[in-house]
Amino acid sequence: MKVSRETLHQLIENKLCQAGLTREHAATVAEVLVFADARGIHSHGAVRAEYYAERISKGGTNRTPEFRFEQTGPCSAILHADNAAGQVAAKLAMENAIDMALEKGVAVVGIRQMGHCGALSYFVQQAARAGLVGLSVCQSDPMVVPFGGAEIYYGTNPLAFAAPGENGDIMTFDMATTVQAWGKVLDARSRNESIPDSWAVDVNGAPTRDPFAVHALLPAAGPKGYGLMMMIDVLSGIFLGLPFGKQVSSMYDDLRAGRNLGQLHIVLNPDFFTCSTLFRQHLSQTMRELNAIKPAPGFDQVYYPGQNADIYEKNSLQEGIDIVDDIYYYLKSDAIYLNSYETKSPFAK
């Protein structure tokens, strides 16, 4: 069904408050989830609300975190997030990174001990809206076999990038380092749809189209995705003195405990490297030139990175955001959660 952006935001915010989150933090989490759904990233939208509510209710998300911002150098800092909701921590860290980059030209801000933050593109777009270039990486649950391996080690370890063009244009790139994010499998489950057999393998290591039979995800482009997820695990785990690799906590194991996840924001001020006006002009020129490229057979147009999501968001503002009926009815219900997620498996049923 389709609902307005405002309605979906209020439903999610109310549900998270019902679970015990403060109104301010619930509003931030809802903002990021609705951002994802509005852009067609349903794997990181309202489908996550029940999981968050269950973890909040059971104490695995700190409802009253004590944030501590530690400046570690002229252009570097760490936000100690005290296992706050990941969206709240990531947004706060990016706000500090933006202030630092505006003054110093460069900012590198790590986040220690946070929860799952949702769509990374939300946070790098914060930087782009401030006229800056944003890059963000974060670690996630071990659920991927390394290239050539038969056992899980790394997480989907996503990265996101955004840069500003003219007249509010933003070039955005957001990806998991797997063929697809785990949330895409979760979204397929909620819709009772099959998945491509290139996304994941079953318990026997064989490709599967059944989202409920997924035992491990596959790295994007084989050894290339494997290398990227290694790099991100180093930057958002080892680099910040946090658990890494297969030691990273599972999203669904013990919802009463904090996740202790790490994330790294890197923000660059174009004015310290070139003319920011020229930078914006050239970025918008890049967008136009990509759109003007002759499409290959089977394609209608070449889109710049993030453009499909931009178009989807524009349409959703006019027509409403599409969410699964069962998710809507859950958000409208009195239930905080349905004991759907706590399991020893990283692939909650």
Question: Which pair of tokens denotes residue 338?
Answer: 């349905």
Q: How many whole angstroms separate alpha carbon 4 and alpha carbon 9?
A: 9
Instruction: Give me the catalytic one of 116, 215, 265, 282.
Output: 116
Beta strand residue intervals within the chain, DSSP E: 2-3, 68-73, 76-84, 106-114, 133-138, 159-164, 170-175, 200-201, 216-217, 261-268, 321-322
Question: Which pair of tokens denotes residue 144?
Answer: 């991927």
* Residue 9 among the catalytic residues: no
Give phi and psi for 323, each to the nearest 5.
-130, 160
Coil, strand or helix: which one is 144? strand
**b/e map of 218-257 (b: 16 or more CB within 10 Å)?**
bbbeeeebbebbbebbbbbbeebebbbbeebbbbbbebee
Q: 89 near 58, Cβ under 8 Å?
A: no
Q: 170 near 131, Cβ under 8 Å?
A: no
| Nearest-10 crossing angle of helices 5-19, 49-58 | 20
Question: Which pair of tokens denotes residue 325?
Answer: 């009926």
Q: 108 near 76, Cβ under 8 Å?
A: yes
Question: Which pair of tokens denotes residue 157?
Answer: 């370890």
Q: How many CA atoms lie within 13 A of 125 on its CB side?
A: 18
Question: Which pair of tokens denotes residue 328?
Answer: 């809507």
Enzyme catalytic residues: 116
